[in-house]
Structure 1
Amino acid sequence: MEEMGYSVDKACYVFYKMLNKKIIARVVGIITHAMLDAIYYLSTKIGTVHGNIKTSNILFNEYGEVKLSDYDGFTRRLRSIQAQSRDLGCPYYKAPEQIKANPATLKDDIRSDVWSIGVCMLEMLLGSNPYSECKNIFDFIVRVVHGPVPLSVVTRKDILVPELVEYISHFLIKEIEQRPYPAELMEHRFYHICPLTSHTILYWCREVIIADNARVIHP
């Protein structure tokens, strides 16, 4: 795999903490476009799931290329240790069905990856994971399984944000049976107005890299 030296979680830190800026909706949409393409390929061409999607596993480079790393689902399949490895992955990105189910009997479903992408989308809009303020793991479980999806905390003047929040709501449907598959989400208007070829993502990636390099040189 080509060199992908930066992650989206680092970009959130650079934008929200260092630059005091927000990641615009179009950038979130383009990154989501790349993530949907990736999990669609995994599910339809390889027949597996990712299993560990989080912002630190979404990588990019100076050319505006965005990739997923750490294919936990593929690794599990290769190693044939499904029962003992179902519990892998960062809990703050896990879907309700992953939290409620017995790890030994939980079946892979690409729609759990869809939920994880939705959480990443919110994190990019907010600057931090929407569940990171949970007091403990039990508080987190209650919020994810029984609480409302934290979409109302996204308030922006960015003209595309209302449409993006509506798009995110499809990713974060609690009942997996009602949550769309990647192919269905790829039919949404927001997917198509945020193409991977947009110069927006190129300029954004370079802004992150330049700011981070300046931090290293002048800490």
Structure 2
Amino acid sequence: MELMDTSLDKFYRKVLDKNMMIPEDILGKIAVSIVRALEHLHSKLSVIHRDVKPSNVLINKEGHVKMCDFGISGYLVDSVAKTLDAGCKPYMAPERINPELNQKGYNVKSDVWSLGITMIEMAILRFPYGSWGTPFQQLKQVVEEPSPQLPADRFSPEFVDFTAQCLRKNPAERMSYLELMIHHIRMVMLQSFQPIPKESNANTLQHVASMPVSGIPPQPLNEIGQVSWF
């Protein structure tokens, strides 16, 4: 088993203590690494993680990103999971907090929601919701009020949209893992002023799906702005 240096929640608190921010390109690499890990669980093992949050994502000095804590992960039956109370409630998707009467379960789109909350937390260095005194307050805020959004004046339109796609209230409207990977690729290309390939999304999705889980080149995280974090 590989030894990692720290978890994302501890990492961003160090960044906050130094009165700095995590660069957006680092956030993007972390996000797509999580997406690829979740996609591997889903497509290769028919498993849903159910507890995606900063403390369950590990990183090391070389920039490798690993998911951990599979204790409440579950197997999908016909792409659906049914145990509603598994996981950390603050990161739960609306359909898990307040399921519809005829809802038979939930799918991996609930992990996509948790990813969106996680990435906003990493970007703004705090949990995006206020504190909840009761489960009813959580129900009202997560289910009824608008989803959290990144401030458009501090982040690129592409990264703002990435998190917004994760946090659509209707799970059917959230992007799939492969669509999120395509979104990230286009975001990187736009930010580096490279032309976006004209091949169809289907061809691009097939290419991304064929890449190994460990295929993302890591970027060292031990120094950001010449400040040591580890």
- TM-score class, shorter-chain normalisation, is 0.7 to 0.9
Stretches of structure 1 that go unaligned for 5 or more consecutive residues are: 210-219
Query: In the TM superposition, what are the counterparts of 1:74-113 in structure 2 within 5 Å?
Result: 74=73, 76-77=74-75, 86-101=84-99, 107-113=105-111
- Specify whether residues 142 and 153 from structure 1 end up closer, same or farther in structure 2 by C-alpha distance, changes over 3 A only: farther
Note closer, same or farther for the CA distance 1:72–1:183 as it changes in structure 2 (3 Å cut).
Answer: farther
Which residue is equivalent to 2:141?
Answer: 143
Conserved? CA contact 1:27–1:200, under 8 Å: no
- Equivalent position SS for 1:177: helix
Whether 2:178 is the aligned partner of 1:180: answer: no
Report what 1:3 is aligned to.
3
Q: Decide whether the 8 Å contact of 2:96 with 2:106 is kept in 1.
A: no
Distance in 1, matches of 2:2 and 2:220, equals 21
Q: Is the 8 A contact 1:131 1:140 kept in 2?
A: no
Q: Structure 2 vs 1, CA of residues 143 and 44 (structure 1 numbering), >3 Å: closer, same or farther?
A: same
SS in structure 1 at match of 2:66: strand
CA contact (8 A) 2:128 2:148 kept: yes
Identity of aligned residues (%): 30
Amino acid at match of 1:170: Q
**Alignment deviations for residues 50-80 of structure 1 (CA, whole Å, 9 cap, x no partner):** 1100000010112211001012454x449xx
Matches within 5 A, 1:21-36: 21-36=20-35
User: Kindly tell me: are residues 3 and 198 of structure 1, through their superposed partners in 2, closer, same or farther at Cα, counting changes over 3 Å?
Assistant: closer
Secondary structure at the residue paired with 1:187? Answer: helix
Residues 46, 108 of structure 1: CA spacing in aligned structure 2 closer, same or farther, 3 A cutoff? farther
State the 1:153 CA deviation: 4.3
Cα RMSD between the aligned structures? 2.8
SS for the counterpart of 1:149 is: coil
How many equivalent pairs are there?
Answer: 198
Retained in 1: the 8 A contact 2:8–2:57? yes
Specify the SS of the correspondent of 2:172: coil
Could you tell me whether the CA contact under 8 Å between 2:120 and 2:128 is conserved in 1?
A: yes
CA distance in 2, matches of 1:106, 1:57: 27
Give the conservation status (yes or no) of the 8 Å contact 1:51–1:89. yes
CA 27–117 in structure 1, closer or farther in 2 if over 3 Å, else same: same
* CA deviation vs aligned residue, 1:157-186 (integer Å, no higher than 9, x gap): xxx533211111111111011111101111
> Structure 1 length normalisation: TM-score?
0.79
Partner of 1:190: 187
Q: Which residue of 2 aligns with 1:122?
A: 120
SS at match of 1:115: helix
1:104-153 Cα shifts (integer Å, max 9, x gaps): x7524111111100000100111111124344332221111010112154
Higher relative contact order, structure no. (Cα contacts within 8 Å, ≥ 6 residues apart) = 1
Q: Cα distance, 1:101 vs. partner?
A: 2.1
Structure 2 residue ranges without an equivalent (≥5): 193-214
Q: Aligned equivalents of 1:191 and 1:68: distance in 2?
A: 23
**Corresponding residue of 2:158:** 163
In structure 2, relative to structure 1, the CA distance for the partners of 1:174 and 1:72 (3 Å cut) is farther
For the 8 Å contact 2:72–2:86, the answer to whether it is kept is no
- Give the equivalent residue in structure 2 for 1:214: none
